[in-house]
Amino acid sequence: MERPKVISLSDYVRKRHGEALRRLRPGAGKGHWFVAYWRHWQESLDRLDDYLMKLKEKKMPIDNLKIEAPANEPIIIATRDFAAPRALVWKVMTEPEHVARWWGTEGQKNVITAFDVRPGGKWRIESHDPDGNVYIFTGEYREVTAPEKFVWTFGMENMFFGKTLLETHTFEADGAITHYKSVSNHDSIEDRDGMVASGMEEGMRHGYEVMDRILSELTQEA
């Protein structure tokens, strides 16, 4: 079925009522109330067109985080879209000054002591919560293909001894949108379910919302 042609509101009004103005006798329209009325509407509709175009072009955050835990696989799959080019999303996820801002939950302050984004490179983040607790996240990059993919290990010092996850993060470009996906591999279904129950979604959701703000800032600076 052929889709109907979509026209702007101002084009519709001009098409529907423009003939009334054209039927005015030459010179008779000068000072006519309808001429003033039409000019007022034409200027207003032009401004409306400009406003709608700006809204369309404005990069609004996309809060569509989805987390899946397949029944028969010890993995967690998370997907989320960002209203920014892939290179910019990669930048915010791999440069320490940005990661320090979005990592963790609300109120946490982060100190990054290592962030070497290359195969074999180490990363380490000290996350301080408002109650004075310190959580230390560590790992190593296994693969790096900028700006498409990185694979790293994920663990915590002094917690979950012997438990190190392998995570794959991919970035798919789609014009001005970036489709992000992470796959976390756990040792067992039990470990995976424990991670899901730990409140990980809260931290991820907060982190991505902060990323949206950072991406907006960087886009305005460009």
Nearest to 129 by CA among 215, 54, 203: 203
The CATH class, in words, for 66-221 is alpha beta
The domain ranges of the chain are 9-57, 66-221
- Predicted confidence at residue 112, as pLDDT, reads 98
Contact predicate 205/99, CB 8 Å: no
This prediction's pTM: 0.73
The reported pLDDT for the residue numbered 163 is 78
Q: What is the DSSP string of 40-77?
A: HHHHHHHHHHHHHHHHHHS-------EEE--TTSSEEE
pLDDT at 61: 79
Which residues of the chain fall short of a pLDDT of 70? 1-59, 160-161, 222
Q: Under a CB-based contact definition with an 8 Å cutoff, are residues 154 and 139 in contact? A: yes
